[in-house]
Structure 1
Amino acid sequence: MPSAVEVKGRVNGKRVPSKELDERIQELVRRGKRRLKVVADGQHGIGGRIWPTGETVKIKVVGAPGQRLGAMGMMGTEIVVEGSCSDDVGWINCGAKITVLGDVANGAHNAGAQGVLYVQGGGGARCDTLTKYNPRFDPIQSWYFRDVGDSFAEFKAGGIAVVCGVNPRNPDNVLGYRPCVGMVGGTIYFRGPTEGVSEDDVRVAELTDADWAWLKKHMKPFLKAVDRMGFYEALTRSPEEWRKIVALTPDERAERARSKRRSMAEFRRNVWFKGVGEGGIFADYITDERTIIPFTVTGELRRQRPVWENDKYAPPCAGYCPTGIPTHERTRLLREGHETDALDLVLKYSPFPGTVCGYVCPNLCMDHCSRQAYLSDPVDVSFLGRLSLERPAPRIETKRSERIAVIGGGPAGMSAAWQLRLRGYQVSLYEREPELGGKIYYCIPEDRLPREILAKEIERFRATGIEVHTGVEVDAAKYKEIYDAHDVVLLATGCHSPRVIPFPGYEHVVPGIVFLKEINARNPRDLTGKDVVVIGAGNVGMDICVEAFNCGARTVTAVDIQKPASFGKEQKMAKARGAEILYPKFTERYDPEEKRIYFKDGTSLPADVVFISIGETPELDYLPETIDRERGFVRVDPVGRTTDPKVFAVGDVTRPGLITNAIGSGLRAARYVHSLIAKTEYEDDRKEVIPYERIKFQWYDRARQNDLSRTCEGEAGKCMSCASCRDCHLCETTCYWGAISRRETEGGGYEYVVDDDKCIGCGFCAGVCPCGIWTMYEY
C-alpha cells in the first residue's frame, strides 16, 4: 500500500489559509493520490467537496482541525480524525464516512443527507439537526459512543442516530435539554435515561425485532472504527436496554393538538395567572371585572368563510375542448382503477376518440393543460384517445319512436346522429358521398390519419343502428321529402365550395380541397421537380404543403396576407419537410406561361402549380327561404336552432371551425333536441375555466414519461385534477381547529363540510388545496 501524502497546515512557521489547504488537497486527488495525511492547524472544511472518482480517498487528520471538517463530503471519501473536532463536523454530508476518535462540538452532521459519522466520545449542542432522507440512497447515520448535548435532532427530517450512553457526561440525561423539537422524520436509538423529549413532535417506543437486528448488525463496524469493540457484548446484551424515538405521524399530531386545546379562559386561569400572578401583570392598577375577548372568532364574527366548490369551474383541458370532453374525469377513473369506464367515458361525447382525439385534433386540451403551463409535459390526451379505439359503442338503454333526420355525414352530422341514437331515437343520416366521414375521410392525408383508424370508428358508428344513406344528393325536392317524414331535421352539410380570389390568372389555380380529395382517392397528380405555391397558410394549407412534397415537388412555399393561422403538428410537419411560409403577401396575378406568381409588394415566386386554401363556403341551394342565412352560412342560435323550429344546423354550415368544433356543435344540438322532445330542462355543461393561479402546482412533481413506457396509469398520475377534488384530505389535515370534515353523500359520493362554530376563517384550506376547490368569501 503506498504511503500517505502529507499535507501540512503550517509551513515555515506560518499557518496555511484554509482555501489554500483545500486547493492542495483537491489537486492531489486530481493527480491520483488516494491516501492523505493532513496536519491541521485550525483550517476549516478539511476533506469536504471531493468529487467521487470511483476510488476511495482516505484522509487522516491530526493536529487541530477547524470547523466544518468533511462539510459537503462526497461518497468515496473516508476521513479519520485522531482527536476531537470543532463545530459542524459533516455539515451537509453527501456521502462521506467520517470517524472522530474523540468528541465533536456543536452542530455535528447538521443538514446531512447521506454518509456516516462515527464519534468515539460525545456530541455538543444541536447535533443531527435538519438531517434529511433521500429514498434513492441509504439513510444518513450518526453514532455517538457517549452522549449528546442540548437541542439534539432539532427539526430532524430523516436518517438514523444512535446514542450508546456509555459513561455519559450527564448520567441522568443522555440526550441533553429539549431534544427532538420539530422532528418530522428519521429514527433515534438511545440507551440510558432521558427527559424533556418534545412530546408535541415525537414519541418514545420500544424496539421491534427489525430495529434490534439493524442495531446489532451495524454496531460492530461502529465499535471497530472507534476502537471500542470491547463494549460490543454490553451494548447488545438486551433490546430492553434501548429505546427509540420516532416522529409523530400527521394523524397523531392532529390528535394530540386536539387533546391539548384549551379555551382562553383556561389559559388565563391555569397558565397566565400561574406565571405572572393572580390578576395578571396589571392586577395592582385595574380593579374592575374584565371580560375576555378571544384573538380568533368563529361563526358570523369571521371576516371570511371557506366554501368547498367542487366542480364549480371547468379544468383547462375540458374548458378549452370545443367538444367539452372531461379529461379530468377520465384520469380520475384511471387513478381509481376503473380503466374500462375511463376509456368508455369519451364515447359519451364523441364517436371519434381514436380518429380525432388520437390523431387529427390540434389538442387544445393539451395546449392549455396546467401541467404544461407550470411543470412539464401535459397529460397525453391523444394517447388516451387512441386507447378508446377498440371500445364498443355505449349501450342504448331506451327506445323512442321519434324520427330524426341528419343531412350530412361529416364529423358534425355523425356527432349529432350518434348522440341522438344513444338516447334511443330513430335516426336517419343522408350523405352525398359514397363514404361517411366528410372532410376527415376525403381531405385529411393518410400520413396524418391511417385509414383503418377511421374505418374502425365508422364501423362502430354504424353498429348503433343508425340508418345510413350514402350517395344521396339532397336537392330541394329531396329535402322536402326528408322534412315531411321526420320530426326533427339537422343540417350538417359542411363547406365544400372553395373560396377563390379573382386576381388575373386565378382560373389556373387549383383549389386545395380538390388536391387533397385526389390524394385520398389515390389519384395524386405528379408534381415531380415542380415549384409549388400554396395561397393560405392555415392548417389545411400545411397539409397541402406536406402532400405536395409527397407528390415530388421541388420547393413548396405557403403565403398568407397575415400571420398564419396554422399551428401545432400540422405546421411542424410542413416545416420539417422543407416548406417555407411567407407573410404578409397579397397576390397580384399569376402568369401560367411564365410559371410565376406576383405579389403586390413587388416580389414574385416561381410557381409551376398554385394551390389555394383560404376556406370554403356552404352549398345551400337545397334549403327553403324559411331558413335564414347570414354571410353565406345558416344562421343559428347557440344550440343550433334555425329560423324553422323543426330544423337545426351544426358544424361548418353555420361557421367554419376545427373538426372538434363540429363535433361539439353536433353534441350540443342533439342534447337540446332531446330536451325539447323529452320535455326536460336543457343544461349547458360548459363552465368558466378555473384560473391557473388557483392550482397549487407546488404539490406536483415534474416527472416526464418516456414514450416507450407510457401507460394509462402514468398519464392519469400526471393529471393535476384542476377544479375537481382529489379527496387528498389536505384541507382536513391542515385545519388546526378540526373545522373541516369529510362526509359521505348518496350514490357513493362525498363532500367536505365546514363547522362554522369551529372555523376561524384563516384560509389555510384554500391556501393548501392542490386543485383550487376552496374559495374564501367575505361575510
Structure 2
Amino acid sequence: MRAKKTVKNQKSKMNSGTTNVVTIKGKVSGKRVSSKILEAQIQHSVQEGARELHIIADGQHGIGGRIWPRGEAIKITVEGPVGQRCGSMGMSGTEILVKNSVSDDVGWINCGAKITVLGDVTNGAWNAAAQGTLYVQGGGGARCDTMTKHNPRFEPPQSWYFRNVGDSFAEFKAGGIAVVCGVNPRNHENILGYRPCVGMVGGTIYFRGPIQGYSEKDVNLLDLTGQDWEWLKTNMKPYLEAIDRMEHYKELTRSANDWKKFIAYTPQEKRARKWFKMSTSDFRKNLWEKAVGQGGIFAEYLDHELTLLPYITTGGDRRNKPVWANEKYAPPCAYACPTHIPSHKRASLIRQGKLSEALELVLQYSPLPATVCGQICPNLCMQSCTRGRLDKPLNIDKLGKLALDLPAPKKAAPTGHKIAVIGGGPAGMSTAWQLALKGHTIYLYESADKLGGKIEQCIPRERLPHEILEKEISRFRELGITLHLNTKVTKEKFDEIYKSHEVVIIAIGAHQPRKIAFPGSEDIVSAYDFLKDINSGKHPDLKGKKVVVIGAGNVGMDVCSEAFNYGSESVTAVDIQKPAAFGAEMEIAKGKGTQVAWPRLTEKYDAKNKKLHFKDGSSMDADFVVMSIGDVPQIDFLPQGIHSERGWIKVNDNYQTSDVKVFAIGDVTGLGLITHAIGHGRLAAENIHYLVSHAPRFPEIKQVIPYERIKTEYYDVCKGDFSPEAEANKCMSCATCRDCRMCETTCYWGAISRVEHKDGSYEYVVDENLCIGCGFCAGICPCGVWEMTENI
C-alpha cells in the first residue's frame, strides 16, 4: 500500500509542474520495495508522462528495462545498491545512468537502451545484447559480452570497458563491437582474462594492453586498419565524456599501434585452416580405446576386434541428397497474379541497386502497371504474399505506380509477321503490346474513339485518376501499333481482316448488359450504361433520390459509389445470394453509406409509385434503379466456324479457337478481372509468337512453393514508410535464392560451395563425396530453395 501511495504522490508532484524529475525510492519507511512493485512504479510514471526518473535503489533487479519506445528519451538515473539485470531488455530511447557499480547481467538482452555505469560491472554484463550501448567507467567481471548479436538492419551494439574484463570474455559472441581500453587494469599482465573469444563467430573486439592467450581457432588477431582507427577515435570522445574521463583522450588516441583487434574467422577460413574436430578414426584410437575401449573401463568385456561401422555415408550410399532447386517453384505472388508478374525478381533487382531495371521489368509483362497494378487491381499477388503471414504483404500496388513515367521498352527487330487485334480494351492492348515488343507488325481495331475499353468507359475516376490511364495509353502508342479507332467490326470487316493477316485475336470484351425481364424492367438502367454515361460527361441528377442497385458485385459497388457522388439520399444494393463484391470497390461503397441486402429476388418495379417489389412479399423505396448483373459479348460478326457456348467464345488452353488462325482472350471468353484480361493477352501472345516464328517455347506456369518451405522466423516485423528499397528488403524471395550463403556456412562437412559463372550468375553446388545427406541446408534455407530428394 505504501508503494502505491508513493506513486500517487509522485504523479501529483509531476503534474503540478514543480519538477520534471520523478523520484522513486527502493526503500519506504524502512521497508524494502520489491523489484516487481518498483518496476510497476517506473512503468506507471512513464505512462503518466514522466521522462526523467531518479531511482534510489535498494538491491532491486531489472531497473530501467522493458520501457517501450515513445519517440522521446526516457532518462533514468540510478543510485544506491543496484541488483541484477539493470537495464535488462532495455528499449531504444531509454537512457540509464548508474552512479555506482552494478551487479550481474547489466544490459542483458539489450534492445537499444544506452547504459552508462560510473563504476564496475560484474559477471555477465551485456549478455546477449542486440542493440544499444554500454559505457563502463571501471572494469568488467567474468563472461561479459557473451552471445551478443547484430541485426544488420540496425547499428551494432557497443560495449566499452575503461579498465579490463574478467575470464571467458566474448564467449560465443556473434556480433557487435567491444572496446577494452586497458587503463589502470587490475590485472596488468592480461586485460582480457582467461580464454577470451571461445566460440566467437561475429563482431569485433578492440583492446589496448597485454593479453595471455585467446581462442586461436575462433578469432584472428590483427592490427587496426585506417577505418578502424578513425571509428575508434570518433567514438572514443562521447564514451569518455559519458564516464567523465576525457583527460585520458590523448593517451587512448595517441597511436593505432597501441591497439589490436579480434575478428572471428569465417566458416570458409576455418575450413582452410582445418579447424575441424579430429577424425572418427583418430578419436577411437587415441581417446576412446585408452579411456573406454580395450585399454579402458570396458576392456574386460571386449573380447573381439572392433571395426568402424560407416553409419555416416556419402555419395551413392546416402538415402537422400540435397538439390539446389533455385526458381524451380513459383513464389505465391507470381503464381497468384494472372499476368505472372515476378515481383520477387523486381525486389531482387532493387536490392542489387538496379531500381530502373526493376521498374522496367514490369513493362515486359503489362502495358498498364500504374493503372492496373497500382490503382484498380484487387492485387491477388498481395493477398497471397508470404510476408503477409508475418506482418503485411509487400506494397506491390505502390511499386506498380512507380512505373508510370517510364518510356516504352525497345522493340525487337521486325519479324515481318502481320497480326490483327480486334478490341482495344485491356486484353487487346496487352496482347498487342506483347507482340509488338517481339517485333511483329500489329493492327488494332477498336469500335470506340478511345483505347482502354471498360477501363476508360466504366471505372470511376475516383478509383482511377484519368491522367494515369491517359499517360499509359500514350506510352502504348510509342510502340508504333497501327490503330483503327471508330471501327466497328462487322461480318464483312472480319472477313477482310481474316484474309489480310496471319493471325487474328478477338479481344472485344463484354459490352452488352445482361438483363432480367420482369414487369417494369424497361424502366431500369444498366450498370454499363450508367457508368459509361458518367465517364463520358453525362452526369445523372440523383439529388435526394433513393437508389437501388440490383446486383452486389464489384461493378454494382462502383454504381453505388457513383450514385452517392451525384447526390443520392440513400443507396442499397440487393442480391439473390451473398454479395460477390470485395476489395476497394466494396470498401469505398460501404464507406459512403451503401447498404447491402440479401437474399432478394426481384419480382417487379413500379416506376410510378417508385417501389421495387421482391418475391418474398417485401418491397423497397426506389426512385432510381440500376441493374448490375454482368455483361455478355456481342459476337454476331463471327463466322460459323468459330465455336461459342452460351454466348462466349470457346478456346483451348492456348487461347486458340476452333479456327487455328483465330485466338480469343479476355471477357469475350468469360467474365473475369481486368488483371485476367492482361494475363490472357500476355500468355496468348507467347503462344502466337511461337506459332508464327517457331521460337523456342518453355512452360511458364510452375508449381507454387508451399508456404511452410519459407522460414519466416528469420524476418523481423517491419515498420516505417514506403520506399522501394524497404519493400525489396521485406521480400522473402520465395523459391529464389537470396545468396545469403547460410547453406554454405551451416554445412559442417564443407560440402556446399558457391560457384560464380562468367556471365555473373552463380549457383550453389554439392560435393557428393563430402555430403552426408543430413538436410541441414534444406532446413535452414530462408527461401525454400534447397530440397531433399531420394538419392536414386
Q: Same fold (TM over 0.5)?
A: yes
In 1, Cα distance between equivalents of 2:221 and 2:334: 50
Shift of 1:613: 0.8
| Structure 2 counterpart of 1:264, from 280, 289, 298 | 280
In 2, Cα distance between equivalents of 1:327 and 1:5: 54
Change (3 A) 1:109 1:460: closer
Whether 1:352 aligns to 2:352 is no
Change (3 A) 1:172 1:297: farther
Whether 1:721 aligns to 2:759 is no
In 2, Cα distance between equivalents of 1:344 and 1:430: 27
- 1:664-679 to structure 2, matched below 5 A, reads 664-679=679-694
Equivalent residues of 1:495, 1:617 under 8 A apart: yes
Q: Deviations over 1:50-90 (max 9, x none)?
A: 9799797655537xx76557767895544344xx8765566
Whether 1:425 aligns to 2:437 is no
| Structure 1 counterpart of 2:341, from 286, 307, 325 | 325
Whether 1:464 aligns to 2:479 is yes
Secondary structure of 2:562 counterpart:
helix
Equivalent residues of 2:572, 2:594 under 8 A apart: yes
Equivalent residues of 1:404, 1:427 under 8 A apart: yes
| Structure 1 counterpart of 2:714, from 692, 699, 702 | 699
In 2, Cα distance between equivalents of 1:214 and 1:463: 55
- 1:375 is aligned with what amino acid? D
| Structure 2 counterpart of 1:97, from 116, 124, 131 | 116
In 2, Cα distance between equivalents of 1:218 and 1:386: 42
In 1, Cα distance between equivalents of 2:276 and 2:166: 29
- 1:98-113 to structure 2, matched below 5 A, reads 98-100=117-119, 106-108=123-125, 110-111=127-128
Deviates more, 1:533-542 or 1:174-183: 174-183
Change (3 A) 1:685 1:162: same
Partner of 2:357: 341
Shift of 1:233: 10
In 2, Cα distance between equivalents of 1:344 and 1:702: 29
Shift of 1:177: 3.8
Shift of 1:152: 3.3
- 1:409-448 to structure 2, matched below 5 A, reads 409-448=424-463
Equivalent residues of 1:740, 1:755 under 8 A apart: yes
Partner of 2:786: 774
Equivalent residues of 2:514, 2:630 under 8 A apart: yes
Shift of 1:535: 0.9
In 2, Cα distance between equivalents of 1:242 and 1:268: 43
| Structure 1 counterpart of 2:221, from 195, 200, 204 | 204
Q: Deviations over 1:178-237 (max 9, x none)?
A: 333233435252533423x22343333445645875798689779977xx99x9999999
Change (3 A) 1:745 1:543: same
- 1:775 is aligned with what amino acid? E
- 2:399 is aligned with what amino acid? F
In 1, Cα distance between equivalents of 2:318 and 2:132: 47
- 2:351 is aligned with what amino acid? R
Deviates more, 1:677-686 or 1:558-567: 677-686
Shift of 1:483: 2.2
Change (3 A) 1:460 1:139: closer
Identity %: 47
Change (3 A) 1:773 1:212: closer
In 2, Cα distance between equivalents of 1:696 and 1:298: 27
Aligned-residue RMSD, C-alpha: 4.0
- 1:178-197 to structure 2, matched below 5 A, reads 178-183=195-200, 184-187=202-205, 189=207, 191-195=209-213, 197=214
In 1, Cα distance between equivalents of 2:514 and 2:40: 78
Shift of 1:128: 4.1
In 2, Cα distance between equivalents of 1:216 and 1:739: 43
Q: Deviations over 1:531-572 (max 9, x none)?
A: 111111111111111211222222111112222222111212
Secondary structure of 1:387 counterpart:
coil
Give the total of aligned pairs.
754
In 1, Cα distance between equivalents of 2:686 and 2:181: 71
Shift of 1:435: 2.1
In 1, Cα distance between equivalents of 2:471 and 2:249: 73
In 1, Cα distance between equivalents of 2:493 and 2:41: 94
- 2:523 is aligned with what amino acid? H
Change (3 A) 1:212 1:685: closer
Partner of 1:370: 386
| Structure 1 counterpart of 2:98, from 56, 66, 79 | 79
In 2, Cα distance between equivalents of 1:671 and 1:575: 40
Change (3 A) 1:10 1:152: farther
Secondary structure of 1:191 counterpart:
coil
Whether 1:755 aligns to 2:770 is no
Partner of 1:619: 634
Change (3 A) 1:386 1:598: farther
Change (3 A) 1:264 1:613: same
- Structure label with greater radius of gyration: 1
Equivalent residues of 1:90, 1:98 under 8 A apart: no
Whether 1:151 aligns to 2:163 is no
Shift of 1:398: 2.6
In 2, Cα distance between equivalents of 1:759 and 1:397: 48
Q: Deviations over 1:113-167 (max 9, x none)?
A: 65656476x755434434566897895545374x654433333443535373857
Normalised to the residue count of structure 2, the TM-score between the two structures is 0.84
Q: Where in structure 1 are there 5+ consecutive unaligned residues?
A: none
- 2:117 is aligned with what amino acid? I
Partner of 1:309: 325
Equivalent residues of 1:406, 1:429 under 8 A apart: yes
Secondary structure of 1:581 counterpart:
strand
Shift of 1:238: 8.1
Whether 1:659 aligns to 2:674 is yes
In 2, Cα distance between equivalents of 1:6 and 1:481: 92
Secondary structure of 1:398 counterpart:
coil
Shift of 1:644: 1.9
- 1:284-683 to structure 2, matched below 5 A, reads 284-400=300-416, 402-683=417-698
Change (3 A) 1:35 1:721: closer
- 2:377 is aligned with what amino acid? C
In 2, Cα distance between equivalents of 1:761 and 1:424: 49
- 2:520 is aligned with what amino acid? G
Equivalent residues of 1:548, 1:556 under 8 A apart: yes
Partner of 1:162: 180
In 2, Cα distance between equivalents of 1:463 and 1:71: 62
Change (3 A) 1:694 1:603: same
Q: Deviations over 1:497-532 (max 9, x none)?
A: 111112221111101101111112111221111111
In 1, Cα distance between equivalents of 2:358 and 2:676: 22
Normalised to the residue count of structure 1, the TM-score between the two structures is 0.85
Secondary structure of 1:645 counterpart:
coil
Secondary structure of 1:260 counterpart:
coil
Deviates more, 1:318-327 or 1:69-78: 69-78
In 2, Cα distance between equivalents of 1:88 and 1:451: 62
Equivalent residues of 2:404, 2:472 under 8 A apart: no
Partner of 2:8: none
In 2, Cα distance between equivalents of 1:24 and 1:411: 61
Equivalent residues of 2:84, 2:103 under 8 A apart: yes
Change (3 A) 1:651 1:240: closer
Equivalent residues of 1:356, 1:660 under 8 A apart: yes
Secondary structure of 1:610 counterpart:
strand
Change (3 A) 1:445 1:86: closer
In 2, Cα distance between equivalents of 1:329 and 1:7: 58
In 1, Cα distance between equivalents of 2:430 and 2:254: 78
